[in-house]
Structure 1
Amino acid sequence: MSKVYSTQELIEILAQERRSCMNGQRLNLAASVSGNPVIDRFLKPEGIQKFSAYNDFKAAVHSYQRQHQVSGIIWCELTMKGKTLRYPAIDEQLAALDSDLKILKAAKADLLEFWYTGIQGMDLYLSINFGKDYQKIMPNDVKEVAQKTEWANLYEYKNYNFWEIILQLGWGKPEEASYKRGWPKSGSEYIHAVNPGKCPIC
C-alpha cells in the first residue's frame, strides 16, 4: 500500500512547489493573458504562467486531500491578556474536508468568547470594499455578523507600539472564503480590533 502524505507534508510540498513556480522552474505554457488589451499590457505572460502552474498544482493537492481524507487543519495558539487559546484553522494553501468544517464549527463559540474577552476596551472596525476601507462598529454589530456565519479564525499583528487582532467570520469553504473567491457560497467578514484611537493597518 502506498504512503499517504500527512497534512504537514502537504504543506511542505506546496511551499516547495510555490518556490519552484516563482523561480520560473515551473510554467503553465497553456496559460494565456486575459485577451483584454488594457489589462494585458500590465501583465507579463511569464507571471501568469507561474501563477497558473502553482494553482494547477494546488488544485491537484486539494483533490489528493479529498481522495485520501487528509485534513487541512493546523492548530494555532494565541495569547491575549494572559490567556491562551489553542484553536483549529485551515492552512491557507490547503482545502477543508467536510470533517474539518465540523471541527471549525464546533470551535467557533470558544474562539468568539476568547476574542470578546481579549478585546475589551479596543476599537472595532469592519473591513469593507475588499479590505480597502474600514467602518467603525460596536460589539453588538459583531454578534449580528457572527450569527450569520459558520466558523471563525483569528490573526494577530503586533510590533513595539501597535497591536491588531483580526477576527475572520466565515461561511462555506475556508479556501474560497477570502477575497470573495467563492462568493456567495463561501465568504467571510473581517473584524479588526485595535487600541483606542488607532486605525487598522492589516
Structure 2
Amino acid sequence: MVSKVYTTEELINILAAERQACLKGDRLKLEVNVSGNPVIDQFIRTDGLQKFTAYQDFKAAIHEYQKEYLVSGIIWRELTVKGKTINYPEVDSQLIALPSDLDILKAAKSSILEFWNEVTSEMDLYLSVNNSKQYQQIIKADVDRIAQRTEWANICCFEKSNFLEIILQLGWGQPQEACYKRGFPNSGSEFIHAVIPGNYPIG
C-alpha cells in the first residue's frame, strides 16, 4: 500500500533530478553494449549510452507509476499573443498521457484552434515536412483539413522584437510519441508554422 501518491509536478521534478544525476554519471546502466560484439565494444565509449539508457529505464518506471496510480501527465500552460491569452493543457514531455488526459486534450482542441485562427490571421502559414527539415507554404483551408483528421492540438510561440512565429501542433495518439514519429502510425502529428509575411519559419 502506497501511503502517498506523487503529483504530476512532483513526478516532473523527480524526473528532472534523475536526468541530471544520469547526465553527471551518477547513474549508469553498465550492461549496455553498443554493438553486442565484446571485441568491438571495448573500443567504443559507452558512458553516454549508459547514462541515456539509465534515464530511459527510470522514465519507463515513472510511466508505469503514472498508469498504476492514475497520475495525470497534463500541465496547464498560458500563452499570450497579440494581446490575446489562452490557457491550455499540454502533456509534459517526460510524462505520458493517461486515457483521461487524452480526453482533456481532445476537449481543448477547438479552443486552441479558435485562438490560433484569431492570432494568425494575416500571417503566412507553412507546413513542416521532411521531419521539420523543410516547410511548404499552405493556406487556412489546408489547416482545417489537417485539423479534421487529428485528435488534439498544442500551440507555442517564438517572439522577438521583429519576429513572430506561432506553431500549431495537430496530433493523434500519445503526445509523447507523436513529435518524432516514434509511435507512427498510432501516434503522430503535423506542425503548422505561422509567420509574419515575408519571414520564414525557424522553429
Which residue does the alignment assign to 1:48? 49
Q: 1:160 to 1:35 in 2, by over 3 A?
A: farther
SS at match of 2:179: helix
2:195 — aligned with what? 194
Root-mean-square deviation (CA), in Å?
1.5
Paired letter, 1:120: S
Task: Give the superposition deviation at 1:14.
Answer: 0.5
User: 1:24: how far off?
Assistant: 1.0
Identity of aligned residues (%): 61
Q: Secondary structure at the match of 1:156?
A: strand
The letter of the residue matching 1:20 is A
Deviations 1:77-116 (A, max 9, x none): 1112211110111011110000000000000001101101
Q: Which residue of 1 aligns with 2:83?
A: 82
**For 2:178 and 2:36, how far apart are their aligned partners in 1?**
27
| Alignment-mate amino acid for residue 154 of structure 1 | I
- In 2 relative to 1, CA 140–44 (structure 1 residues): closer, same or farther, beyond 3 Å? farther
1:34 CA displacement: 4.4
CA-CA distance at 1:143 after TM superposition: 0.5
Q: Distance in 1 between matches of 2:106 and 2:116?
A: 16
Amino acid at match of 2:167: I
Report 1:9-158 matches (<5 A). 9-34=10-35, 44-158=45-159
> Where in structure 1 do 4 or more consecutive aligned residues deviate above 3 Å?
none
The amino acid of 2:11's aligned partner reads L
Match of 1:161 in 2: 162
Scaled by the length of structure 2, what TM-score is found? Answer: 0.93
Structure 2 counterpart of 1:118, one-letter code: V
CA offset at residue 160 of structure 1? 2.0
User: Deviation per CA, 1:139-198, whole angstroms, max 9, x where unpaired?
Assistant: 100011111100000111112221111100000011111110101100010001111110
* Structure 1: 5+ residue stretches without partners: none
The CA deviation at 1:30 is: 2.0
**Alpha-carbon separation, structure 2, partners of 1:160 and 1:144:** 32
Which TM-score applies when normalising by structure 1?
A: 0.94
Distance in 1 between residues matched to 2:161 and 2:24, nearest whole Å: 34
- Measured after TM superposition, the shift of residue 33 of structure 1 is 1.4
